[in-house]
Amino acid sequence: MAQQVNSGGFPLKGLFTGMKVTFLELLKKPVTVNYPKEKEIPVARARGVIALDTEACTVCMLCARECPDWCIYIEGHKEEVPPAKEGGRVRTRAKLDRFDIDYALCMYCGICVEVCPFDALFWSPDYEYSEFSIADMLHDKERLTEWLATVPDPPALET
Amino acid sequence: MNFWLELVVKTVLVLILVVLPVALVVIFGELKISAHIQSRIGPYFAGGRFGWAQPLADGAKFIQKEDLIPAGADNPVFRFAPYVVLMGTFATFVVIPFGPDLAAENLDVGIFFLLAVSSLSTLGVLMAGWSSANKYSLIGGLRAAAQLIAYELPLVLAALAVVIQAGTLSLSGIVEAQANMEIFGLGIHLPYVLTGQILSFIIFTIAALAELSRIPFDMPIAESELTMGYLTEYSGLRFTMFFLGEYAAMISLAAVASTLFLGGYYLPGLSGDALKVAGPFILLGKTLILCFVFIWMRWSWPRLREDQLQSLAWKWLIPLALVNIVVISIFKVVL
């Protein structure tokens, strides 16, 4: 048996309360942001797009493998780096050739950012990167690096 | 003047110059008011400023659309139904007095004509629902018929209370009776809604909302369960006819309500000559205020279920209207 809801007061009071609410709303300024003309500035830590720090990336492929949509494409090769000291051993390091994210596939889960062990991926608040063709949503590492400039500094460590 | 010429001139004057622009204004008002009630802006770009041309643009879009007629539809009835709805609505404007001498036809039985003719729209709705060969349309049409039968009664009974107080069936007579109405010999002439007819006005407004099948009583259209009710199969120009008819009906019922209860073209404090000029604008203002109230109710209140809608009419409004008539009659005899 459903419980009878009685907020007290005279009958049909709810109808007039509703009309009062809508009338007050009518007098308020609408919340609409007229997008192309005026822009909403998202909060600094908004999750708009994923930015890449190519210097930090070690081509470990963890992000590409963890990505649920398989929207990250990484290619790289190894190159030799001269030894740090004279007579030392020649080092090899991985060099990033291609780092593309297909934003038509990406579902913005952020697992790649979480999983990156070298802090190469970041959330950026930028959101204006739509394209007319869905194929153009595949953004390369140059584009991803541009967004790095919009990434806010990490919060200060707790002391 | 030639009879036919006069007929055409009157029709064009009433329909093209009064009803359609006001209908467009009310449609625009509905778009804007509903938007602001929901904290949106609503139409914004059409026509440059405030999106004022949105109803015109919508109309132009509807006219360009394909005029679809379902294969199983009863062709002539399906084609004719929108015009029946419009005809019933537009015919009500014939008897509404816009000023002391300004009515298309000042019938002695004006209110009788009005109530009879406004029921014609129901027939159009039923025709539309029946001829569409669609289960949703059929149920919508039958619901509309049931609803309009149920709410026609309180509407007529509320109007009857006014007729009893005014002692005339003529709409001009009712307005004049309100202009000459005196309570306790104070010399203040107030419209009927303030002099004993408040309950009739409330009943009339609720019944009018139901007659219009607008949101608190939108069971015939019922988008959520009947897609669009009797409008389901209509497209293009014929849908526009229904759409326009809905808003024209809203204006006509608001105009009737303002004539019966709010004093029509009469405003306290204005004398005869001033009323001749200002009358139509006063009536228009009252009509638009009532239309605003209708729109406001639509966007504030939840919808009634079909059985709630029927029980509201039969169990509440009709007994209330009857009691109201008894009370008004007693006051009429005693005072």
CATH number at residue A85: 3.30.70.3270
Which candidate, B259, B254, B250, B253, places its Cα nearest to that of B279? Answer: B259
A26 touches chain B (CB under 8 A): yes
Least confident of A81-85, B183-187, B197-201: B183-187
DSSP structure string for B112-165: HHHHHHHTHHHHHHHHHHHHT--HHHHHHHHHHHHHHHHHHHHHHHHHHHHHHH
* pTM of the shown model: 0.77
Residue A156 lies in a domain: no
User: Which H or E element spans position B272?
Assistant: helix B272-300
Whether residue B44 lies within 8 A of chain A, CB to CB, comes out as yes
By Cβ distance, the residue of A15, A30, A34 closest to B36 is A30
Q: Does the ipTM surpass 0.85?
A: no
Q: Does A6 touch chain B (CB under 8 A)?
A: no
CB contacts under 8 A, B 298-327 vs A, are: 299-301
* pLDDT at B184 > cutoff 70: no
> Do A34 and B44 lie within an 8 Å CB cutoff?
yes
pLDDT (average), residues B102-109: 73
Residue A64 lies in a domain: yes
Query: Quick one: tokens of A73?
Result: 């494409």
Mark yes or no for CB contact B300/A18 under 8 Å: yes
A158 touches chain B (CB under 8 A): no
**Domain count of the fold of chain A:** 1
Asked if the structure places residue A96 within a domain, the reply is: yes
Question: Mutate which of B36, B49, B312 to disrupt the A interface (most A C-beta within 10 Å)?
Answer: B36
| Domain assignment of residue A94, given as a range | 49-150
| B38 vs A contacts (CB less than 8 Å) | 25
Rounded CA gap, B19 and B36, in Å?
A: 25
pLDDT at A2 over 60: no
Average pLDDT over residues B236-260: 86
Cα–Cα distance measured from residue B140 to residue B133, given in angstroms and rounded to the nearest whole number: 12
In a domain, A22, yes or no: no
Q: Establish if A128 belongs to a structural domain.
A: yes
pLDDT in tens, B39-67: 888 888 887 778 888 888 888 888 888 88
pLDDT confidence of residue A115: 93
Task: Determine the distance in angstroms separating the CA of B212 from the nearest CA of chain A, rounded to an integer.
Answer: 19
Domain assignment of residue A131, yes or no: yes
**The pLDDT of residue A1:** 46
